[in-house]
Amino acid sequence: MVSEYPNQDTTKGNLNEYVRGLVNETLRAVQHDGSLTPHVVDLDIGLIVYHDDIFADSPGAVLEDLVYPVYREDLSVNASLLAELHVKETKRGLMSKMFVRFQINDRAEVEIINGEIYETEILVSDTLTVNSRRECERLLEERAELVSAAFKTAVMQLMTEKRVT
């Protein structure tokens, strides 16, 4: 498999560009017609840090925080992470933004907790009828599932490389 960023040193620096390249390679591999309908144009990963539960009873207490950038060594057992992805539909050029929340469990496997599109561009012509709206919603759900699965594959591949090196 040819990487979009083959010379990227992932032992230093953050992983955003390297993971984005791996996600796009995975998406390209599953597109049978070569159209590459979804393509990740930007990706930002943050490590979720849970604070002590000292202030858990306080309604305004912040119980978790995001730390940027994420490094290769942050991909460890019981790590919780959140990624924001900007996904472009290449056929029509429409953009979507999505979050993927994932955790690395005690067996060093990646579990997707949640993957959803929170903002998207939709053509007015796509929403004129009820059936078209339902079709748009279905396509967005499929895109979110596809990109989430590709993201999981990319992180798992990176973790495998981490163990090997």
* Predicted confidence (pLDDT) per residue in 120-136, tens digit: 988 777 777 767 778 88
Q: Phi and psi for 65 in degrees, rounded to 5?
A: -140, 160
pLDDT at 106: 92
Question: Residues 100, 70, 153, 117: what is their CA dihedral angle, to the nearest 10 degrees?
Answer: 20
Q: Work out the angle between the directed axes of helices 16-30 and 130-164 (0-180°, nearest 10).
A: 120
Residue 86 reports pLDDT greater than 50: yes
Q: Distance between CA 24 and CA 159 in Å, rounded?
A: 17
Higher local confidence (pLDDT), 37 or 44: 44
pLDDT at 111: 95
pLDDT at 103: 95
- 68 pLDDT band, cuts 50/70/90, is confident
Q: Distance between CA 158 and CA 141 in Å, rounded?
A: 26
pLDDT at 72: 85
pLDDT at 150: 95
pTM of the predicted structure, to 2 decimals? 0.79
Triad 147, 97, 50: Cα angle to 5°: 85
Calculate mean pLDDT across residues 17-45: 86
Q: Distance between CA 45 and CA 84 in Å, rounded?
A: 6
Calculate mean pLDDT across residues 81-106: 92
Residue 57 reports pLDDT greater than 70: no
Q: pLDDT above 70 covers what percent of the chain?
A: 78
CA distances to 15, 34, 49, 51, 114 from 83, rounded to whole Å, are 11, 26, 14, 20, 10
pLDDT at 61: 57
**Average of per-residue pLDDT values in the chain:** 81
